[in-house]
Amino acid sequence: MRINTNVSALNAQKNLFLTNKMVEGNTSKLSSGLRISRAADDAAGLAIANNLRTNTREAKMAVNNAQQANAFLQIAEGAASTIQRIIERQAELSIQHTSAQNAGVQSTLEDEYDLLSAEITRIIDATEFNGEAIFSASARSFTVSDSANGDSVSVTLDMAAADVTTAIGAGSTSSALSFVNSILGSVGAAQNRLDYTVANLQNTIVNYAAAESTIRDLDMAAEVADFQKNNILVQAGSSVLAQANQSAQSVLALLR
C-alpha cells in the first residue's frame, strides 16, 4: 500500500475533469441552440454553414433589388398610362376639331391639344426614380442574383418627349401611342420576369436556410439526453474521487 501517490484518486480526478468539460459543452450548446457553438465543435461544418448564411444574405439583397426594380417599373407604368390617356384625349380633340359644327371653338380645342402636349413633355422629363430620369435611352441594370457573377435584369425605357410630341404635333396620335405602347410592353415583360425572379430567390433562401440549419442548429432532444448522462457521470465521478481520497486512511489501521 502506498500513500504518496494515490493512483486511484488521480484516475478519478482525470475522468471527472473530462466529464465536467463535456457538461460545459452540453450547457453551451443547450443555451445557444447551436450544434457548433465554437469552431472546435466542427471546423469544416462551421465553414460550410458560414458560406450558406452569406449566400442567404446575398439572396435576400437580390430580392430587395428586384423589388426596387419593380417599384421603378410601377412608376414608369403609371406615367406611361397617364400619357396614354392624354393621347387618347388628343385623338378625340382631333376628330372634334375637324367637324364643321365646332368651327367656332377650334381655337379652344387647339389650346387644350397644345397644353396636353406640354403636359406629356413635363411627365416624361419629370418622372424620376432615386433622382434619375426613368424614360431614358440608357439601360438600367438591376442585380438579381445571389452569386458573384452579378446576374442582372436590364430595362431600357427609351421614350423621348420630342419623339412623342413631334408625332402628336404632326397630327399622328397613333404614332405617338405606339411609342407609349412600346414602353408599356417593355415594362410588362420586365415585371413578369422580376416576379419569377423573386419567386425563385425566395425558394433559394428557404433552401439555404434549411441547409444551414441542418449543419449549425442543435438537436435539442439528443443533446439533453447527453447532458443528463454526463451529469450522472460527474456525480458518480465526484463520489468515486471522494472514496479514492479516503482509501489512504486504511493505512492508519496498520499503525495501531
Residues 23-72: tens digit of each pLDDT: 988 888 888 888 888 888 889 999 999 999 999 999 999 999 899 999 99
Q: Quick one: how far is CA 180 from the chain centroid? A: 33
> At 130, is the pLDDT very low, low, confident or very high (cuts 50, 70, 90)?
confident
Among residues 144, 127, 137, the alpha carbon closest in space to that of 182 is found at 137
Taking residues 137-150, what's their average pLDDT? 74
Q: What is the pLDDT of residues 1-13, one digit of tens each?
A: 566 777 788 888 8
> Hey, what's the cell of 107?
381655337
Report pTM.
0.74
Q: What is the pLDDT of residues 160-184, one digit of tens each?
A: 776 777 777 776 788 888 888 888 9
> End-to-end CA distance of the chain, in Å?
16
Residue 92 has pLDDT above 70, yes or no: yes
Taking residues 238-244, what's their average pLDDT? 83
Residue 148 has pLDDT above 70, yes or no: no
> What is the pLDDT, as a whole number, of residue 151?
75
Among residues 172, 213, 232, 245, the alpha carbon closest in space to that of 52 is found at 213
